[in-house]
Amino acid sequence: MKLLIVESPTKSKTLAQYLGDDFEVVSCNGHIRDLPKSKMGIDIEHDFKPQYVIPTKKRKTVTNLKKIAAKAKTVILAVDEDREGEAIAWHLEQILESVNNPQFQRIAFHEITKEAIQNALKNPRDIDMNLVNAQQARRILDRLVGYELSPLLWKKLVKGLSAGRVQSPAVRLIVEREREIKKFKPEEYWSIEAELEQQTPLLSSRTPSTVIPHGVRDDKGDVRDDKGVFTVRLSKIDDKTLKKLDIKNKEQADEIVKNLEKTEYTVTDIRKKQTMKNPFPPYTTSTLQQAASRVLNFSARQTMFIAQQLYETGLISYPRTDSLNLASAFINQAQQFITNEYGNRYTYPRHFKTKSKLAQEAHEAIRPTSAINSPEKVEKGLEKKFLKLYELIWRQAVASQMNPAKIDKTSVDISANNYMLRATGSVIKFDGWLKLYPQKLGEKILPELSINEILNCIQIIPAQHFTEPPPRYSEARLVKTLEEYGIGRPSTYAPIISTILSRNYVIKEGGRFKPTEMGMRVNDLLTKHFPNIVDYKFTAKMEDRLDAIAQGEKDQKTVLSNFYKPFKQTLMQKEEQIEKQFKDEKTDKTCPQCGKDLVIKMGRFGKFLACTGFPDCRYTKSLEQKSSDQPNDKTGVKCPQCKEGEFIKKRTRKGKFFYGCSIFPKCKNALWYEPTGDTCEKCGSLLVKFGKDEKIKCSNKECK
């Protein structure tokens, strides 16, 4: 009997379909060993040797694996092909090698298909210790920073805080953007457009009685806008190209409008050019997270969860990659599909070159395992969110193998005395890959014009604008910026975002990241006293060193030592230098329980009132903060208990979200899950949404 081990139950079920009776496929449910929670678990004096333990929740899994491995002659380690997967494989071998001394084989594949599995089984390999060492080095670095720097934050700021090697630069990005926004001073500027009309709305090549409606082509392929009306924008004054802020106020704008109302409009230049618009490359982990955030409003974490499930059920290739490479077999299959569906003129086999020097070309971009499996073919067995992400991946990969779109672009210059106005338009002559993206590019059609043609001015449209500050980071923009700075790697973007949110260093407001007061305080302390920890270049260089370990070009112990020695030295110096950053603020309020004075304290989740009689009196009260550190999202659902307030989203002092009545403490009604507003048909209690898929259940625990 052969034992084949994967990370997840879903993956084990899919693989079992392709293997015979002589295989037993089981799941280890991720990592089976880790550093201990109760101590650092790293022997710094002996080359940073990690002290791995089996977590309590994994002991049952390990016992079961040992029991099955005792009957197996061969143990096949089929976990994911990345650093984390390689580390899991190594830990499994370390634990199971003492059980009946089985033969170990490491296999890897980019997609879960019968062909890929059979090919992997024919070509087993040894565990790649360079990848294992790179994973270990990352884990050790993060533990060193977390366990040594966090206690300093407890002493100098607030107990319970933590600092992260990669998360801290991400918080810095968000804090710096917030300060840019606060410093920003808007400037007024004006734009001027004119609506023009041809003196005759007829094509010169046609009889006077023939009118070509808007967007309709005649038999020569010419296009005519409705009545020859179109809009132009002021672009030059006295041959000087206008910049955004050149027209600064209403007085200037009014003067220009006055002049434009008196002048004649003449076509002086027409430029026509056919351009080719190429398709985008297939997705990498980063670009998939960005697209899913923009198009589907998915978080990075949600995107990776769904993508992993799609991979484990055999629908897409491995979703953690920074390669743009596509297998020849997929390209050929895509060509056949495109030909069958749209015809030969749409096919264009294309290979994309990966810009990143670190991307492994043996790996692939994210793609469907079969181009033939269009979203319509697979929708029956998929939940709505899963289908949406699959469709995004399928379209991008298949469209990458289609012909460019051909677009006719027209640019028209119109003189009006010393002013020049410009209009641009485009017509899709051949849609090519846009066939799969019908809403990707609209058509703005100009009328057929001729040089020296005189035009009528219908109206002039001045518009006031104000410059806007740079926007807060969305998830898509933050992932892109982290990638541009070289902070983190494809598999770490989602955990970075989850961590800074769970630590309450940032919150989401309108889908964008905003730093909390605590996030700004932690950032300021680290920036001032531990600049390397939040320095973008330093963090990127450390990522490069980890990549070099993975390539076998650098030694793990040397990299760790070079980081730790100066870090520890700085830590010891700052222990004495940094003063307590937040002191209790006196108030004129007294404790409603014992009568002693109340003070304002700072906690992990913002400021709160606390009794000076602590620990004898434990009275506390959270303070609502204008900075939205406390979410207070309205649900619009009336509280059925008091019939006065409504449920709002709140956060406990430990950071858990719940839904409580808005007139607390008068009404203390609360729910752990978001109420829908509907009531249960059986007991009349409120229904609530729970879980990632927002399933509905009754809030009454006794109701079945």
The residues, ordered by sequence, that sit 6+ positions from 25 with a Cβ below 8 Å of its Cβ are 4, 5, 6, 12, 15, 16, 19
Give residue-wise pLDDT tens across range 637-674. 888 888 888 888 887 755 678 888 888 878 889 998 88
Q: Which residue has the higher pLDDT, 700 or 350?
A: 350
* Whole-Å CA distances, 609 to 154, 305, 601, 618, 621: 19, 39, 6, 11, 5
User: Is residue 313 within 8 Å of residue 277, measured between CB atoms?
Assistant: no
- Is residue 571's pLDDT more than 60? yes
Q: Please, is 504 exposed, middle or buried when counting C-beta atoms within 10 Å of its C-beta (0-12, 13-18, 19+)?
A: buried
In this prediction, residue 224 carries a pLDDT of 39
* Average of per-residue pLDDT across 578-583: 79
Beta bridge partners of 414: 267, 421
Which H or E run contains 196? strand 188-198
- Is residue 201's pLDDT more than 80? no
Q: What class, spelled out in words, does domain 285-399 have in CATH?
A: mainly alpha
- What is the C-alpha to C-alpha distance for residues 589 and 570, in angstroms, rounded to an integer? 41
Decide yes or no: CATH 3.40.50.140 for domain 2-127: yes
- Least confident window among 282-296, 355-369, 437-451: 355-369
- Least confident window among 198-207, 212-221, 357-366, 543-552: 212-221
Given the residues 283, 318, 419, 493, the one annotated as active site? 318
Region of residue 136 (phi > 0: left; psi between -120 and 50: alpha; otherwise: beta): alpha
CATH fold for the domain made of 188-278+405-466: Topoisomerase I; domain 3 (2.70.20)
- What is the C-alpha to C-alpha distance for residues 282 and 287, in angstroms, rounded to an integer? 9
Q: Which residue has the higher pLDDT, 432 or 201?
A: 432
- Is residue 82's pLDDT more than 60? yes
Adjacency order of strands within the sheet including 674-679: 674-679, 686-690, 695-698
- Is residue 485's pLDDT more than 90? yes
For residue 110, the tally of other CB atoms under 10 A from its CB is 23
Give residue-wise pLDDT tens across range 298-348. 999 999 999 999 999 999 999 999 899 999 999 999 999 999 999 999 999
User: Is residue 106 within 8 Å of residue 90, measured between CB atoms?
Assistant: no
Which residue blocks in 192-351 are alpha helix, DSSP H?
Answer: 250-262, 285-296, 300-312, 328-342
The residues, ordered by sequence, that sit 6+ positions from 576 with a Cβ below 8 Å of its Cβ are none
- Is residue 440's pLDDT more than 70? no
Torsion angle, CA of 134/137/139/143, rounded to 10 degrees?
A: -170
Could you give phi then psi for residue 39, rounded to 5 degrees?
-150, 175
Cis before 495 (ω within 30): no
User: Is residue 373 within 8 Å of residue 315, measured between CB atoms?
Assistant: yes
Q: Based on the residue annotation, tell me whether 318 is a catalytic residue of this protein.
A: yes
Residue ranges of domains in the chain: 2-127, 136-184+471-577, 188-278+405-466, 285-399, 584-621, 631-704
In this prediction, residue 219 carries a pLDDT of 38
The residues, ordered by sequence, that sit 6+ positions from 344 with a Cβ below 8 Å of its Cβ are none
In this prediction, residue 584 carries a pLDDT of 83
* Whole-Å CA distances, 132 to 5, 299, 328, 425, 477: 18, 29, 30, 55, 31
Strands (E), 542-605: 585-590, 597-603
In this prediction, residue 441 carries a pLDDT of 57
- What is the C-alpha to C-alpha distance for residues 397 and 327, in angstroms, rounded to an integer? 11
Report which DSSP code applies to 350: -
Listed residue (47, 54, 70) closest to 1, CA to CA: 70
Percent of the chain at pLDDT above 70? 92
In this prediction, residue 439 carries a pLDDT of 63
Give residue-wise pLDDT tens across range 361-378. 457 999 999 999 999 999
Torsion angle, CA of 4/5/6/9, rounded to 10 degrees?
A: 90
In this prediction, residue 159 carries a pLDDT of 81
Looking only at the bridges linking them, the beta strands covering 585-590 and 454-466 are unpaired
- Is residue 406's pLDDT more than 60? yes
* Average of per-residue pLDDT across 42-65: 95
Q: Which amino acid is at 52?
A: Y
- Is residue 212's pLDDT more than 50? no
Pick the CATH number of 136-184+471-577 from 3.40.50.2000, 1.10.460.10, 3.40.50.300, 2.40.50.140: 1.10.460.10
* Average of per-residue pLDDT across 371-387: 93
Residue/partner pairs of 646-652 with CB below 8 Å, 24 or more apart: 647/671, 647/674, 647/675, 649/674, 651/504, 651/605
Q: Is the pTM of this model over 0.85?
A: no
Provide the token pair at 311.
Answer: 């991979």
* Average of per-residue pLDDT across 279-301: 94
Q: Rounded mean pLDDT of the chain?
A: 88
